[in-house]
Amino acid sequence: MSASDKPHVHIVATGGTIANVTGDYDSPDGFLTADDLIDEMPKLETVADVTSTGISRLGSSSLTPEVWYETYEEIMSKAESEDPPDGFVVTHGSNTSEETAYFLNLALETDIPVVVTAAQRGINKTGSEGFKNLFDAVRTAASPDAAGRGTLLVTNDEVHHARDVSKLASNRPDAWESSNFGKVGLASPGQPVTFYRSVDRKTGTDTVFDIDETPLEEFPLTDIHVVYAALAEDNTIVDAIADDAAGIVVAGFLTGGGASPDGLPSQSEALERAAENEVPVVMCTRGSYGKIEPDMDRFDSEYAIGGDTLRPQKARVLLALGLTQTSDPETLTEFFETY
């Protein structure tokens, strides 16, 4: 606790609509700096002593694993310092906020609360909700009840867990939903942040992942590709990428498979060939609900892995982190059962 008896929350800013003032996402000048973002909302000081670090000023569609690594390093350096903050907030663009939150959830080695937040409408747009989300994220990060829960995502008065949440709508402030399991808490106006459930899957300090041992240039995220199952989708894309891919994630049909169009080369058979050639193929669904068991037996290969309840973009993050530890398919399957 700081000398003022208010909790200390450190904001790590990466850009995104929550900081955008011009509508221009192609130039850093379109975004407020981390310090400016705090200056624009003096009300933050009523709930915490707030400090900040700027990592990037980019839209979320422009982010790369480099920003993940820099965000991780900033949080861990502060968390392991002699005077660590009581919580962290990561401001982020909305489109990939869930992926960054899940990466941090698996990689960070601290029980200090970490909260990702974002916005759908820029600061100068009618109905902008960014400052409200930032205020609630700071309140959540400052809450002792948030400690040890893994990385959280706060928007629209709701607290979600990083593993389960996804952005499911455009433009609307209620875009984020944890479709299979629901939100974990509420950050209702004028009320204390309240948690209603915990997540059993291992996070943070309980994971095996240690990116300190993996140089950025060896992190395989960009070599893992997502393919989409749809009516009459053939083998073209899968066969084109399989030889050089570190892994393939499938946004499959809700029954857990690829397309096998009558009279055309089969997407499903191309995925099976990739798995037989020891390319990990993770099968998710293209829907918002449902589960594909990690030890799926749809293909006759141990390199075919079910993505559990993870959406494809989350499965890609877990597979990338998993491949930093092992290429053994049995262990990779265990990761999807565990995390």
- Which domains does the chain carry? 8-206 (3.40.50.1170), 216-338 (3.40.50.40)
Q: Which of 14, 17, 96, 140 is catalytic?
A: 17
Burial of 211 (0-12, 13-18, 19+ CB in 10 A): buried
3-state secondary structure of 70: helix
Specify the pLDDT at position 2: 47
Give the integer Cα–Cα distance in Å for 62 and 308: 28
| Interval 194-247: pLDDT, tens | 999 999 999 989 999 999 999 999 999 999 999 999 999 999 999 999 999 999
For helices 329-338 and 312-323, the axis angle rounded to 10 degrees is 130
Which of 98, 102, 101, 254 minimizes the C-alpha distance to 168? 98
Taking 90 as the threshold, does the pLDDT of residue 67 lie above it? yes
17 is catalytic: yes
Average pLDDT over residues 167-175: 94
Cross-sheet strand order for the sheet of 151-155:
49-58, 8-15, 87-91, 114-117, 151-155, 158-161, 185-186, 194-195
| Interval 280-333: pLDDT, tens | 999 999 999 999 999 987 788 999 999 999 999 999 999 999 999 999 999 999
Taking 60 as the threshold, does the pLDDT of residue 1 lie above it? no
| Interval 87-125: pLDDT, tens | 999 999 999 999 999 999 999 999 999 999 999 998 988
